[in-house]
Amino acid sequence: MQERKSLPPAVRRRFQTGRPCLDLVHTGGDGELAAWEIVHDAEDLGRWLSVILAIPDITAEDADLAAFRVLRTALSRSAFGHAAGNPLSAGDIETINHAASEPPLTPHLTANLTTSYPAPTAGAALSTLARDAIDLFTGPLAHRIRVCASENCGLLFVDASRPGRRKWCSMDRCGNLSKVARYRESHDTSA
């Protein structure tokens, strides 16, 4: 299983939202998001679900792709809409609830006191992600779902900072680039 820390930086930052359900949104999508699509087949789906949930060897079949796309679209609309102050649509709520109604991934305790997930499937992983979305949208961090303030980013994240005023998906990238641009503007001597 590929771990997040071994991903190229441009891909790794997609999966720093603070919530697995939002990480799923950043795998691509329809419309403008199609340019960022990384799930093209069942093998890709299993791989990226494994990365998002940090659970090795999640298996996916071609039949799982349709359920994945429907859930990802509902989560995308819901998260971006919620960040903009819009209510979740009844159809998206139904889609999320339907995915969550399937059996989720079930952790097992091993003899060496670690967690394993016997025979993890894409269907169970999608249920787990839908349940994470329900927890996020109904929990104390629901009002902290944000869209990165960088003009050329637009990634979602959960602002878990103490003051709740975080603007960027990543201080290392978008926050730093914004501060550098402001500094250069304020110190521009060519005018």
CA distances from 71 to 24, 68, 92, 109, 113 (A): 9, 5, 8, 29, 33
Q: For residue 143, what pLDDT band results from cuts at 50, 70 and 90? A: very high
Question: Burial level of 4, CB count in 10 A (0-12/13-18/19+)?
Answer: middle
Distance of alpha carbon 112 from alpha carbon 118, whole angstroms: 15
**Nearest Cα to Cα of residue 153 among 165, 131, 170, 129:** 170
**Nearest Cα to Cα of residue 3 among 60, 68, 58, 55:** 55
Distance of alpha carbon 191 from alpha carbon 186, whole angstroms: 11
Q: For residue 189, what pLDDT band results from cuts at 50, 70 and 90? A: low
Its pTM stands at: 0.87
Instruction: Give residue 173's pLDDT.
Output: 65
For the chain, list the domains and their CATH numbers.
Answer: 4-147 (1.10.3300)
Distance of alpha carbon 118 from alpha carbon 66, whole angstroms: 24
**Nearest Cα to Cα of residue 134 among 83, 91, 78, 80:** 78
Range from 10-24, 25-39, 123-137 carrying the lowest mean pLDDT: 10-24
Q: For residue 191, what pLDDT band results from cuts at 50, 70 and 90? A: low
CA distances from 166 to 44, 45, 76, 181 (A): 32, 31, 20, 18
